[in-house]
Amino acid sequence: MDNYQIARRAQIGVVIPSTNTGVEYDLQKFALDGVTWHPSRFWIELRNWSDEVEATGDDTNTVFERFLEIMRGEIPIALRNVISAKVNHIMLGMSAETFWGGLEGSAQFERGVREHIGDVGLTTGAAATREALECFGAKSLSVITPYPPVGDDNVRQYFEEIGFTVKHVRGLNRPSATAIAETSIREVLAAVREVDGDDVDAIVQCGTNLSTVDLFPTLEHQLEKPLIPINIATVWHALRACGIADKVSGKGRLLEEF
Protein backbone atom coordinates (compact mmCIF):
# COMPACT_ATOMS: atom_id res chain seq x y z
CA MET A 1 0.00 0.00 0.00
CA ASP A 2 1.38 3.42 -0.95
CA ASN A 3 1.99 5.96 1.77
CA TYR A 4 1.15 9.53 0.84
CA GLN A 5 2.22 12.76 2.48
CA ILE A 6 -1.48 13.65 2.72
CA ALA A 7 -3.67 10.79 4.01
CA ARG A 8 -6.34 10.11 1.41
CA ARG A 9 -9.38 8.51 2.97
CA ALA A 10 -11.55 11.17 1.32
CA GLN A 11 -10.96 14.46 -0.47
CA ILE A 12 -14.25 16.31 -0.63
CA GLY A 13 -14.79 19.38 -2.78
CA VAL A 14 -17.23 21.87 -1.26
CA VAL A 15 -18.96 24.40 -3.52
CA ILE A 16 -20.15 27.50 -1.66
CA PRO A 17 -21.35 31.03 -2.44
CA SER A 18 -18.68 33.70 -2.07
CA THR A 19 -20.78 35.35 0.65
CA ASN A 20 -20.97 32.21 2.80
CA THR A 21 -19.01 31.82 6.04
CA GLY A 22 -21.30 29.31 7.77
CA VAL A 23 -20.22 26.23 5.82
CA GLU A 24 -16.52 26.62 6.56
CA TYR A 25 -17.27 27.42 10.22
CA ASP A 26 -19.02 24.07 10.50
CA LEU A 27 -16.46 22.13 8.44
CA GLN A 28 -13.63 23.27 10.71
CA LYS A 29 -15.26 21.25 13.48
CA PHE A 30 -14.67 18.01 11.55
CA ALA A 31 -10.96 17.22 11.68
CA LEU A 32 -11.16 13.54 10.80
CA ASP A 33 -7.92 11.72 10.05
CA GLY A 34 -7.39 11.34 6.33
CA VAL A 35 -10.40 13.47 5.36
CA THR A 36 -9.85 16.86 3.74
CA TRP A 37 -12.38 19.51 2.69
CA HIS A 38 -11.66 21.67 -0.35
CA PRO A 39 -13.92 24.74 -0.66
CA SER A 40 -14.49 26.38 -4.04
CA ARG A 41 -16.39 29.68 -4.04
CA PHE A 42 -18.64 31.07 -6.72
CA TRP A 43 -19.24 34.79 -7.03
CA ILE A 44 -22.27 36.44 -5.42
CA GLU A 45 -22.65 40.19 -5.66
CA LEU A 46 -22.70 41.68 -2.18
CA ARG A 47 -25.93 43.65 -2.03
CA ASN A 48 -28.77 43.75 0.45
CA TRP A 49 -31.96 42.32 -0.97
CA SER A 50 -33.85 45.18 0.66
CA ASP A 51 -31.71 47.66 -1.32
CA GLU A 52 -32.49 45.74 -4.49
CA VAL A 53 -36.20 45.93 -3.69
CA GLU A 54 -35.93 49.69 -3.27
CA ALA A 55 -33.86 50.14 -6.42
CA THR A 56 -36.02 47.98 -8.72
CA GLY A 57 -39.47 48.20 -7.20
CA ASP A 58 -39.67 44.39 -7.19
CA ASP A 59 -40.81 42.49 -4.13
CA THR A 60 -38.44 40.43 -1.98
CA ASN A 61 -39.54 37.14 -3.53
CA THR A 62 -38.70 38.35 -7.03
CA VAL A 63 -35.32 39.69 -5.88
CA PHE A 64 -34.48 36.39 -4.18
CA GLU A 65 -35.38 34.39 -7.29
CA ARG A 66 -33.15 36.69 -9.36
CA PHE A 67 -30.38 36.07 -6.82
CA LEU A 68 -30.72 32.33 -7.42
CA GLU A 69 -30.72 32.81 -11.18
CA ILE A 70 -27.38 34.63 -10.96
CA MET A 71 -26.03 31.76 -8.84
CA ARG A 72 -26.89 29.24 -11.54
CA GLY A 73 -24.57 30.96 -13.96
CA GLU A 74 -21.65 31.07 -11.50
CA ILE A 75 -21.76 27.55 -10.05
CA PRO A 76 -20.12 25.78 -13.05
CA ILE A 77 -16.97 27.87 -12.61
CA ALA A 78 -16.57 26.77 -8.99
CA LEU A 79 -17.22 23.15 -9.99
CA ARG A 80 -14.57 23.35 -12.71
CA ASN A 81 -12.02 24.74 -10.28
CA VAL A 82 -12.47 22.15 -7.54
CA ILE A 83 -12.74 19.19 -9.92
CA SER A 84 -9.24 20.05 -11.09
CA ALA A 85 -7.96 18.94 -7.65
CA LYS A 86 -9.14 15.38 -8.45
CA VAL A 87 -11.46 15.29 -5.47
CA ASN A 88 -13.47 12.10 -5.12
CA HIS A 89 -16.74 13.71 -4.01
CA ILE A 90 -18.57 17.02 -4.39
CA MET A 91 -20.66 18.52 -1.59
CA LEU A 92 -22.83 21.51 -2.41
CA GLY A 93 -22.64 24.11 0.34
CA MET A 94 -25.79 25.96 -0.69
CA SER A 95 -29.32 24.73 -0.14
CA ALA A 96 -32.07 26.90 -1.66
CA GLU A 97 -31.27 25.78 -5.21
CA THR A 98 -31.48 22.13 -4.22
CA PHE A 99 -35.09 22.50 -3.04
CA TRP A 100 -36.27 24.86 -5.78
CA GLY A 101 -39.15 23.62 -7.87
CA GLY A 102 -39.94 20.71 -5.58
CA LEU A 103 -38.89 17.17 -6.41
CA GLU A 104 -38.58 17.70 -10.17
CA GLY A 105 -36.76 21.01 -9.79
CA SER A 106 -34.30 19.39 -7.39
CA ALA A 107 -33.68 16.51 -9.78
CA GLN A 108 -33.19 18.89 -12.69
CA PHE A 109 -30.69 20.93 -10.70
CA GLU A 110 -28.75 17.77 -9.82
CA ARG A 111 -28.65 16.76 -13.47
CA GLY A 112 -27.21 20.15 -14.35
CA VAL A 113 -24.46 19.78 -11.75
CA ARG A 114 -23.60 16.26 -12.90
CA GLU A 115 -23.00 17.57 -16.42
CA HIS A 116 -19.95 19.33 -14.96
CA ILE A 117 -18.64 16.67 -12.58
CA GLY A 118 -19.13 13.43 -14.49
CA ASP A 119 -19.15 10.33 -12.31
CA VAL A 120 -17.79 12.03 -9.19
CA GLY A 121 -20.08 11.50 -6.19
CA LEU A 122 -22.50 14.31 -5.30
CA THR A 123 -24.14 15.50 -2.08
CA THR A 124 -26.92 18.08 -2.12
CA GLY A 125 -28.79 19.60 0.78
CA ALA A 126 -32.15 18.28 -0.36
CA ALA A 127 -30.97 14.69 -0.83
CA ALA A 128 -28.95 14.69 2.40
CA THR A 129 -31.82 15.92 4.57
CA ARG A 130 -34.18 13.44 2.94
CA GLU A 131 -31.89 10.52 3.77
CA ALA A 132 -31.27 11.83 7.28
CA LEU A 133 -35.00 12.04 7.99
CA GLU A 134 -35.46 8.51 6.66
CA CYS A 135 -32.78 7.25 9.06
CA PHE A 136 -34.84 8.54 11.97
CA GLY A 137 -38.10 7.24 10.55
CA ALA A 138 -39.61 10.73 10.69
CA LYS A 139 -43.00 11.25 9.08
CA SER A 140 -43.78 14.83 10.11
CA LEU A 141 -41.37 17.72 10.34
CA SER A 142 -40.96 21.43 10.77
CA VAL A 143 -38.39 23.57 9.00
CA ILE A 144 -36.45 26.73 9.87
CA THR A 145 -34.98 28.78 7.01
CA PRO A 146 -33.31 32.18 6.57
CA TYR A 147 -35.27 32.69 3.32
CA PRO A 148 -38.09 35.02 2.27
CA PRO A 149 -41.55 33.44 1.78
CA VAL A 150 -40.85 32.17 -1.75
CA GLY A 151 -37.94 30.13 -0.40
CA ASP A 152 -40.11 28.70 2.36
CA ASP A 153 -42.75 27.73 -0.21
CA ASN A 154 -40.21 25.77 -2.25
CA VAL A 155 -38.85 23.98 0.81
CA ARG A 156 -42.36 23.00 1.84
CA GLN A 157 -43.15 21.82 -1.69
CA TYR A 158 -40.07 19.60 -1.83
CA PHE A 159 -40.65 17.87 1.49
CA GLU A 160 -44.36 17.37 0.85
CA GLU A 161 -43.70 15.93 -2.60
CA ILE A 162 -41.31 13.33 -1.18
CA GLY A 163 -43.93 12.22 1.32
CA PHE A 164 -43.41 14.15 4.55
CA THR A 165 -46.07 16.04 6.46
CA VAL A 166 -44.75 19.58 6.94
CA LYS A 167 -46.24 21.07 10.08
CA HIS A 168 -44.53 24.46 10.08
CA VAL A 169 -41.99 26.43 8.03
CA ARG A 170 -40.49 29.44 9.78
CA GLY A 171 -38.63 31.76 7.44
CA LEU A 172 -36.38 34.32 9.13
CA ASN A 173 -36.37 36.43 5.94
CA ARG A 174 -32.84 37.72 6.34
CA PRO A 175 -32.08 40.93 4.38
CA SER A 176 -28.97 39.70 2.54
CA ALA A 177 -26.79 36.67 1.88
CA THR A 178 -24.22 37.72 4.49
CA ALA A 179 -26.90 38.65 7.03
CA ILE A 180 -27.87 34.99 7.22
CA ALA A 181 -24.65 34.27 9.13
CA GLU A 182 -25.41 37.18 11.47
CA THR A 183 -28.67 35.67 12.74
CA SER A 184 -28.71 35.83 16.52
CA ILE A 185 -28.88 32.81 18.80
CA ARG A 186 -32.05 34.29 20.30
CA GLU A 187 -33.75 34.32 16.87
CA VAL A 188 -32.83 30.71 16.21
CA LEU A 189 -34.08 29.54 19.60
CA ALA A 190 -37.32 31.46 19.15
CA ALA A 191 -37.83 29.87 15.74
CA VAL A 192 -37.29 26.38 17.17
CA ARG A 193 -39.87 27.02 19.90
CA GLU A 194 -42.31 28.33 17.30
CA VAL A 195 -42.16 25.30 15.00
CA ASP A 196 -41.91 22.55 17.61
CA GLY A 197 -44.85 20.50 18.80
CA ASP A 198 -45.91 17.06 19.96
CA ASP A 199 -46.93 16.27 16.38
CA VAL A 200 -43.47 17.13 14.97
CA ASP A 201 -41.08 14.17 14.61
CA ALA A 202 -38.02 16.20 13.54
CA ILE A 203 -36.89 19.76 12.88
CA VAL A 204 -34.76 20.61 9.84
CA GLN A 205 -32.76 23.82 9.41
CA CYS A 206 -32.12 24.95 5.83
CA GLY A 207 -29.77 27.71 4.65
CA THR A 208 -26.10 26.75 4.74
CA ASN A 209 -24.91 30.15 5.94
CA LEU A 210 -27.03 29.75 9.08
CA SER A 211 -24.89 27.63 11.38
CA THR A 212 -26.76 25.80 14.13
CA VAL A 213 -24.17 23.13 14.94
CA ASP A 214 -23.46 24.80 18.30
CA LEU A 215 -27.14 24.80 19.27
CA PHE A 216 -28.99 21.83 17.81
CA PRO A 217 -27.09 18.94 19.48
CA THR A 218 -28.08 20.27 22.92
CA LEU A 219 -31.63 21.10 21.84
CA GLU A 220 -32.08 17.50 20.65
CA HIS A 221 -31.75 16.33 24.25
CA GLN A 222 -34.10 19.02 25.50
CA LEU A 223 -36.80 18.42 22.87
CA GLU A 224 -36.22 14.66 22.64
CA LYS A 225 -36.29 14.56 18.84
CA PRO A 226 -33.76 14.90 16.01
CA LEU A 227 -32.81 18.41 14.94
CA ILE A 228 -30.99 18.36 11.62
CA PRO A 229 -28.87 21.30 10.46
CA ILE A 230 -28.40 21.14 6.71
CA ASN A 231 -24.62 21.48 6.99
CA ILE A 232 -24.46 18.50 9.31
CA ALA A 233 -26.72 16.50 6.99
CA THR A 234 -24.46 17.22 4.01
CA VAL A 235 -21.27 16.45 5.96
CA TRP A 236 -22.79 13.16 7.11
CA HIS A 237 -24.00 12.28 3.61
CA ALA A 238 -20.66 13.11 1.98
CA LEU A 239 -18.66 11.14 4.53
CA ARG A 240 -20.86 8.07 4.28
CA ALA A 241 -20.83 8.27 0.46
CA CYS A 242 -17.02 8.18 0.61
CA GLY A 243 -17.07 5.13 2.87
CA ILE A 244 -16.14 7.09 6.00
CA ALA A 245 -18.21 5.46 8.74
CA ASP A 246 -16.68 7.27 11.73
CA LYS A 247 -19.18 8.14 14.43
CA VAL A 248 -18.72 11.72 15.65
CA SER A 249 -19.78 12.72 19.16
CA GLY A 250 -21.14 16.11 20.13
CA LYS A 251 -22.35 17.17 16.69
CA GLY A 252 -25.83 15.70 16.86
CA ARG A 253 -27.57 12.35 16.73
CA LEU A 254 -27.22 11.93 12.97
CA LEU A 255 -23.42 11.60 13.16
CA GLU A 256 -23.54 9.72 16.46
CA GLU A 257 -26.04 7.05 15.43
CA PHE A 258 -25.89 6.53 11.65
Task: Note the pLDDT of residue 181.
Answer: 97
> What range defines the domain where residue 249 resides?
10-257
Closest of 138, 133, 136, 155 to residue 146, by C-alpha: 155
Task: Note the pLDDT of residue 6.
Answer: 74
Q: What is the CATH number of the domain that holds 66?
A: 3.40.50.12500
Give how far the C-alpha of residue 56 lies from the chain's centroid of Cα atoms, to the nearest Å. 29
- Give domain status of residue 4, yes or no: no
Do residues 56 and 244 touch, judged by C-beta distance below 8 A? no
- Give domain status of residue 5, yes or no: no
pTM of the model as a whole: 0.94
- Inform me whether the pLDDT recorded for 88 exceeds 60: yes
Closest of 142, 127, 128, 124 to residue 204, by C-alpha: 142
The Cα 214–Cα 235 span in angstroms is 15
- Inform me whether the pLDDT recorded for 1 exceeds 80: no
pLDDT, mean over the chain: 94
Q: Give the CA radius of gyration of the chain.
A: 18
| The length of the chain, given as a count of residues | 258
- Give domain status of residue 1, yes or no: no
- Give domain status of residue 212, yes or no: yes
The Cα 184–Cα 14 span in angstroms is 25
- Give domain status of residue 2, yes or no: no
Closest of 210, 133, 125, 212 to residue 166, by C-alpha: 133
Per-residue model confidence as pLDDT tens digits over 119-162: 999 999 999 999 999 999 999 999 999 999 999 999 999 999 99
- Amino acid type, 134: E
Task: Note the pLDDT of residue 2.
Answer: 65
Task: Note the pLDDT of residue 60.
Answer: 80
What average pLDDT does range 81-106 have in this prediction?
96
- Inform me whether the pLDDT recorded for 164 exceeds 80: yes
Task: Note the pLDDT of residue 15.
Answer: 98
Across 70-79, 84-93, 241-250, least confident range: 70-79
- Give domain status of residue 3, yes or no: no
Number of separate domains in the chain? 1
Per-residue model confidence as pLDDT tens digits over 40-77: 999 987 667 777 777 888 888 888 888 788 888 899 99
- Inform me whether the pLDDT recorded for 185 exceeds 80: yes
Per-residue model confidence as pLDDT tens digits over 13-23: 999 999 999 99
